[in-house]
Amino acid sequence: MMPFHRTCKEVTALVIAREDHVLPWRDRLALRLHMAICAACPTFERQVLTMRNAMRQWRSYEGLETPPGNADKPPN
Ligand SMILES: [Zn+2]
């Protein structure tokens, strides 16, 4: 019926899966379409992207001699 329709549950799963591997174009398109019509999922996506950026910064810090001072909450 609606080949690119995804529920919010499926979309959140896709957003998380996208962090690990590249999604097929069908999933990417479905994701984009859902983001255009949904109020909740773009907010969730933004949180995931913020988290990803924070993790990336953390990883780049690992290569430095002096870590940043805000290391009160290590990832593990
Ligand atoms: Zn949604």
- pLDDT tens for the chain, 76 residues long, are 578 899 999 999 999 999 989 999 999 999 999 999 999 999 999 999 999 899 888 888 777 665 566 556 666 6
Does residue 45 belong to any structural domain of this protein?
yes
Does residue 2 belong to any structural domain of this protein?
no
Q: How far is the CA of 28 from the centre of ligand 1 (A)?
A: 14
- Residues 47-60 pLDDT 10s: 999 998 998 888 88
Q: How far is the CA of 32 from the centre of ligand 1 (A)?
A: 11
pLDDT number for residue 68? 60
pLDDT number for residue 22? 95
Q: How far is the CA of 72 from the centre of ligand 1 (A)?
A: 34
Distances in whole angstroms, Cα of residue 51 to Cα of each of 2, 3, 38, 45, 75: 32, 30, 21, 10, 11
Does residue 37 belong to any structural domain of this protein?
yes
pLDDT number for residue 62? 74
Report the mean per-residue pLDDT for the chain: 87
Q: Collect residues with CB below 5 Å from ion ligand 1.
A: 8, 38, 41
How many structural domains comprise the chain?
A: 1
End-to-end CA distance of the chain: 44
Q: How far is the CA of 65 from the centre of ligand 1 (A)?
A: 42
Does residue 67 belong to any structural domain of this protein?
no
Task: Give the domain extent around 47.
Answer: 8-60
